[in-house]
A and B are shown apart, each in its own frame.
Chain A
Amino acid sequence: MVNMGPQHPSTHGVFRMVMAVDGEVVVDVEPHIGYLHRGSEKLSENELYVQVVTLFDRLDYISNLNNEMVFCRSVEKLMGLEIPERAEYIRVILCELNRVASHLLFFGTFGLDAGAMTPVMYTFREREKIQSMFEMVTGARMMHNYIRIGGVKNDVPEDFHRRMHELIAELRKGIDESDKLLSFNEIFLARTKGIGVISADKAINYGMTGPSLRASGIPMDIRKDEPYSVYDRFDFGIPIGENGDCWDRYYVRVEEMRQSMKIIEQALDQIPEGSTITPTRLVLRPPKGEVYVRGENPRGELGVYLVSDGADRPYRVKVRPPSFCNLMAIKELIKGTYVADSVVILGSLDIVLGEVDR
């Protein structure tokens, strides 16, 4: 028996796996979830609607803006609120940028899991540029609280367009560079090809979503299937894998970064002038009712089930976190592999414990 985690360098946070090993082979694995449980869902019931947004920032702390967006959309749907178009575009641009940042982080840490120490430096350099961009627009590097119910906090700065175009050009170069460094390295291929294979049927049955599901060959992307916000106005592709192994899960994300940048460029061209927020009262009282809203997060489908009893605080907020559902397949994936593979497989699922344990 080997107890991997909660304090282990490659469990991506504080995830704990108890593995039964036979020499180097993992015979059985028991994931233990809940070390980072903070009761976010329960806390949400005691906060005003505008305050809950800050809690959503802290769920998946690597893709904060995507989380904020899903929650705000759920409240807006409940209230039937119209969003200014400019706000929608700003939301989409920042969310896609956040997706790139999240995948860059995945890129680096996945390299570390496979034992390569350089990719993480390359991708963090790129990610840092995105964080500075976020800081410029939202005022914070991570916990933005920028997307508000009814729009976004404020308009983008003056030279936003110019700097975004510069950033995109730099990111393209940086991603190609990291891609060249790691993706087709023989040792990396040997470590990830054919490791942790999950078939499309099983992936669906386990409730996997996002890149992890697409790597198994299912072109499911909520941005396409159920276009929310202004996603139906952009031309972008869904990268899908064939084998559902670690390498496919990895490369789908690399391709997704390129698609995201395509979306951002189109959005920058189309973005209209106008106001950025529909004014609402500080203390919102949405009508009685319930609503389920889902959005495509970097890790998969983030769903919010919101019940309102007409008060100024939500009656119930249920979160369907993508990492949690993807993680369900871990037992199936890791059983029978080597200890070294288990680390790579866990890395390829790209979990964020803030979201798994909530």
Chain B
Amino acid sequence: MSLLDLLKTISAIMGMLTVLSVIVLSLTLLERKFIGRIQMRKGPNRVGPFGLLQPVADAIKLVAKEDILPTWVDKVIYWVSPLVVFIPTFMIWVTIPVARDVVIRNLDMGLFYIIAFSVLSIVGLISAGWASANKYAIIGGFRAAAQLISYEIPIILSVLAIAMLAGSLNLERIVDAQATKPYIFLQPLGAFLFLCGGLAELGRTPFDIHPAESEVVGGPFVEYSGAHWSVFFLAEYINTFAIAALTTLLFLGGWLFPGLPGNVTASGVLVFLTKTYLVVLVIFWFRGTYPRLRIDQLMSLGWKVLVPLGFINVVVTAVALKTELPEIILGLISFVILASTFWIISVRMRTAPKPEYTVRLYDPSLEGLNAR
């Protein structure tokens, strides 16, 4: 590698860091505004026009805050953990294309690389929990480990089916393969699995079990403050954006949109960002409406529902490719499996005694005072 190449790469990485930081700022504002609207509040609106400078104020506050080092922490691990979480989340972005050729390094093994690096940040969460010498933090750290590892599998399986369809692990080629049909039409089941697993990997509602603030008060992050906490925060939002971006690339056709030229960078970036922000809004929407699952319910959902569905998805896709079924039939099969899963769940819900009948008005004419 020549010196010029090195310089180019370094400047690209610096550019990426800047762009991602700005995106994180926009995400925090977007989340607060959006959830504020869901909750009939206005959200931040004091700092700058429409509260646009709120994220900047937040950032300044976080950096200026005292960085507390509790007495009993394991100092080295405590300081290193945020970085262990932070670095892999950035490394993923090296190979995520924003438009055609707008990428730092387009790897042929791109998907593989992303999957491999996204798991790494778990180590940081566990070590953060352990080093904090706090019981809530340790519980949170182990919750994170269990949750993230088990939800990696449905993600891998759904991505595997995509790779089989596209015949490549290169993200640009996967997008190109969706020129006529986004994979969400061929793989609705896969898209569901990916988004579900992705939410769990991010630790966002309804799977926000490791930072559950009403139980373990922030989980692994409970002892962190100031700049070190903000590093975790940054990583979380970049991950959110990464999952949304991957959903866009793998299932929604990336920067392609009917009627718009796929080769023009500006329109490509615009289309990509629009789609990604829409997916992000869906993720925020879940946060505004859903309660949190319990850890055992989360595990059983992962292992008993999502993982088998993932395998079915892979097998169906493989058989369809081998027998050269028309794509529309593959899409239909996938959709039917997804719909029947929902149907089974709703039937089980319906056959269970309906809760409203367990609470009724007491009628003294029907029973004595102590009927039970």
B196 at interface, CB cutoff 8 A = no
Closest Cβ of chain A: how far from B363's Cβ, in Å? 8
B194 at interface, CB cutoff 8 A = no
A2 at interface, CB cutoff 8 A = yes
> Residue among A112, A181, A240, A343 with the most chain B CB within 10 A?
A240
User: Within 8 Å CB of A1, what residues of B?
Assistant: 135
B103 at interface, CB cutoff 8 A = no
Q: Which of B39, B139, B290, B356 has a CB less than 8 Å from the CB of A187?
A: B290
Closest Cβ of chain B: how far from A41's Cβ, in Å? 32
User: Within 8 Å CB of A216, what residues of B?
Assistant: 372
Nearest chain-B residue to A121 (Cβ)?
A: B39
User: Within 8 Å CB of B355, what residues of A?
Assistant: 183-184, 189, 193, 247, 251
Closest Cβ of chain A: how far from B138's Cβ, in Å? 10
Which residues 223-267 of A sit at the B interface, judged by CB distance below 8 A?
Answer: 237-243, 247-248, 251-252, 255, 259
B41 at interface, CB cutoff 8 A = yes
Interface size class of A (residues with CB under 8 A): 35 or more
Majority secondary structure of chain A interface residues (helix, strand, loop or mixed):
mixed
Closest Cβ of chain A: how far from B300's Cβ, in Å? 10
Q: Which of B40, B142, B215, B294 has a CB less than 8 Å from the CB of A122?
A: B40
Q: Are B358 and A241 in contact (CB under 8 A)?
A: yes
A116 to B291, CA, bound (A): 4
A112 to B214, CA, bound (A): 7
| Contact (A240, B297) CB under 8 Å given A187-B292, A340-B212 | no
User: Within 8 Å CB of A242, what residues of B?
Assistant: 357-360
Nearest chain-A residue to B371 (Cβ)?
A: A217
Q: Which of B292, B295, B296, B369 has a CB less than 8 Å from the CB of A116?
A: B292
Q: Are B358 and A238 in contact (CB under 8 A)?
A: no
> Residue among B39, B143, B295 with the most chain A CB within 10 A?
B39
Majority secondary structure of chain B interface residues (helix, strand, loop or mixed):
loop
Nearest chain-A residue to B346 (Cβ)?
A: A186
Q: Are A118 and B359 in contact (CB under 8 A)?
A: no
Q: Which of B139, B293, B369 has a CB less than 8 Å from the CB of A339?
A: B139
Closest Cβ of chain A: how far from B284's Cβ, in Å? 11
Closest Cβ of chain B: how far from A17's Cβ, in Å? 12
User: Within 8 Å CB of B361, what residues of A?
Assistant: 237-240, 255, 259
B349 at interface, CB cutoff 8 A = yes
User: Within 8 Å CB of B143, what residues of A?
Assistant: 24
Q: List 27 A-B contacts (CB under 8 A).
A: A2-B136, A2-B139, A21-B139, A112-B214, A114-B292, A115-B208, A115-B212, A115-B290, A115-B292, A118-B35, A122-B40, A181-B289, A188-B291, A191-B291, A191-B293, A215-B359, A216-B372, A240-B360, A241-B359, A242-B358, A242-B359, A247-B355, A251-B359, A255-B361, A339-B215, A340-B295, A341-B294
By a beta-carbon cutoff of 8 Å, the part of chain B in contact with chain A is 35, 38-41, 135-136, 139, 142-143, 205-206, 208-209, 212-217, 287-297, 345, 349, 355-364, 369-372
